[in-house]
Amino acid sequence: MTLLFLVLFGRIYWVQIVKGDYWYGLAKTRWSAEETLIAKRGTITDRDGNVLAMDSLAYTVAVNPKMIDGLGIADEVTEGLHELLGKPEDEVRKLVTAKKEETGEFFQQREIQREGWKIDKELADKIKAFRDELEKKHDVKDAGIYLIDDQKRYYPRGTMASQLLGYVTKEGKAMTGIESFFDDKLRGENGEIIYEKDGKRVQLSKGEVNYTPAKDGQDITLTIDMQVQNYVEEALKEIVKEYNPKTVTAIAADPNTMEILAMAHMPTYNPNTYWQSDYENAYNHSIKSLYEPGSTFKIVTLAAAVEEGIFNPNAEYKSGRINVPGRPVNDINKVGWGTISYLAGLKHSSNVAFVKLGWEQLGGPKLLDYINRFGFGQKTGIQLGGESAGKINVNLSIPSDIARVSFGQGPVQVTAIQQVAAVAAVANGGKLLQPQIVKQIYDPMTKTTQTFKPQLVRQVISEETSRKVGEYLEQVVSDQEIGTGKNAYIEGYRVAGKTGTAQKVINGEYSKTKFVVSFIGYAPVENPKIVLYIVVDEPNDSLAGGGKVAAPAFKEIVSKALRHYGIAPSSDPNKDAASKKEASVTVPDMTNIKVSQAKAELTEKKLSFEIVGNGTSVLKQIPASGTAIHPSQRIYLITEQKDKLKIPDMTGLSLRDAMEISSVLDVRLIVEGEGYVVSQKEEQKDGSRYIRLKLEPPLGSDAALESGAAEDEGADASSEAKEDSSAAAENGAEGEAAGNG
Q: What is the domain-level CATH number for residue 153?
A: 3.90.1310.10
Domain that includes residue 444, residue range: 226-564
Residue 115 backbone dihedrals phi, psi, to 5 degrees: -60, -30
Q: What is the pLDDT of residues 443-472, one digit of tens each?
A: 998 999 999 999 999 999 999 999 999 999
Q: Are residues 515 and 608 in the same domain?
A: no
User: For 355, what's the count of Cα atoms within 13 Å in the CB-facing half-sphere?
Assistant: 24
Q: Contact, 272 vs 566, CB < 8 A?
A: no
Which of 586, 740, 564 shows the shortest CA–CA distance to 658?
740
Catalytic entry in 180, 295, 400, 608 = 295
Q: Are residues 350 and 466 in the same domain?
A: yes
How would you classify residue 104: left for phi > 0, otherwise alpha for psi between -120 and 50, otherwise beta?
Answer: left
Domain boundary among 221, 254, 287: 221
Other Cβ atoms within 10 Å of 585 Cβ, number: 17
**Structural domains counted in the chain:** 3
Please calculate the CA angle 621-624-626 and round it to the nearest 5 degrees. Answer: 135
- Per-residue pLDDT averaged across 392-401, rounded? 92
Higher confidence at residue 701 or residue 22?
22
Higher confidence at residue 648 or residue 164?
164
d(CA 154, CA 161): 14
Domain boundary among 175, 205, 221: 221
Q: Are residues 232 and 351 in the same domain?
A: yes
Going by pLDDT thresholds of 50, 70 and 90, the confidence category of residue 201 is: low
pLDDT for 206: 65
Higher confidence at residue 717 or residue 100?
100
295: annotated active-site residue: yes
Q: What is the pLDDT of residues 323-363, one digit of tens each?
A: 999 889 999 888 899 999 999 999 999 999 999 999 999 99
What is each CA distance from 319 to 295, 337, 495, in whole angstroms? Answer: 16, 6, 26
pLDDT for 620: 84
Q: Are residues 94 and 194 in the same domain?
A: yes
Q: Are residues 232 and 216 in the same domain?
A: no
Q: Are residues 275 and 413 in the same domain?
A: yes
Residue 174 has pLDDT above 90, yes or no: yes
Q: Are residues 435 and 448 in the same domain?
A: yes
Q: Determine, yes or no, domain membership for 331.
A: yes
Q: Determine, yes or no, domain membership for 644.
A: yes
Q: Determine, yes or no, domain membership for 2.
A: no
d(CA 249, CA 246): 10
Going by pLDDT thresholds of 50, 70 and 90, the confidence category of residue 423 is: very high
pLDDT for 202: 66
Domain boundary among 511, 534, 564: 564
Q: Determine, yes or no, domain membership for 85.
A: yes
Residue 11 has pLDDT above 80, yes or no: yes
Higher confidence at residue 575 or residue 413?
413
Going by pLDDT thresholds of 50, 70 and 90, the confidence category of residue 311 is: very high
Q: What is the pLDDT of residues 251-290, one digit of tens each?
A: 999 999 999 999 999 999 999 888 888 888 999 999 999 9
Q: Are residues 618 and 519 in the same domain?
A: no
- Per-residue pLDDT averaged across 244-253, rounded? 96
Residue 388 has pLDDT above 90, yes or no: yes
Q: Are residues 553 and 594 in the same domain?
A: no
d(CA 548, CA 555): 11
Residue 104 has pLDDT above 90, yes or no: no
What's 509's domain CATH number? 3.40.710.10
Q: Determine, yes or no, domain membership for 603.
A: yes
Least confident of 200-209, 221-230, 602-611, 697-706: 697-706
pLDDT for 660: 67
- DSSP-derived pairing of the beta strands 219-222 and 44-45: parallel
pLDDT for 457: 96
What's 678's domain CATH number? 3.30.10.20
Q: Are residues 244 and 214 in the same domain?
A: no
Three-state SS string across 671-698, please? Answer: EEECCEEEEEEEEEECCEEEEEEEEECC
Q: What is the pLDDT of residues 555-596, one digit of tens each?
A: 999 999 998 888 888 754 333 333 334 456 788 888 888 888
Going by pLDDT thresholds of 50, 70 and 90, the confidence category of residue 642 is: low
Q: Determine, yes or no, domain membership for 357.
A: yes
- Per-residue pLDDT averaged across 648-660, rounded? 74
pLDDT for 535: 96
The per-residue pLDDT of the chain, averaged, comes to 84
Q: Contact, 639 vs 595, CB < 8 A?
A: yes
What is each CA distance from 171 to 72, 174, 512, 557, 734, in whole angstroms? Answer: 33, 9, 47, 38, 55
Q: Are residues 185 and 243 in the same domain?
A: no
Q: What is the pLDDT of residues 670-715, one digit of tens each?
A: 777 777 788 888 877 766 777 888 877 655 444 444 444 444 433 3
- Per-residue pLDDT averaged across 94-117, rounded? 87
Q: Determine, yes or no, domain membership for 161.
A: yes
Q: Are residues 66 and 176 in the same domain?
A: yes
Q: Determine, yes or no, domain membership for 711.
A: yes
User: For 616, what's the count of Cα atoms within 13 Å in the CB-facing half-sphere?
Assistant: 0
**Hey, which bits of 197-277 come out as E strands?**
209-212, 219-222, 247-254, 259-266
pLDDT for 632: 65
Higher confidence at residue 510 or residue 579?
510
Residue 644 has pLDDT above 90, yes or no: no
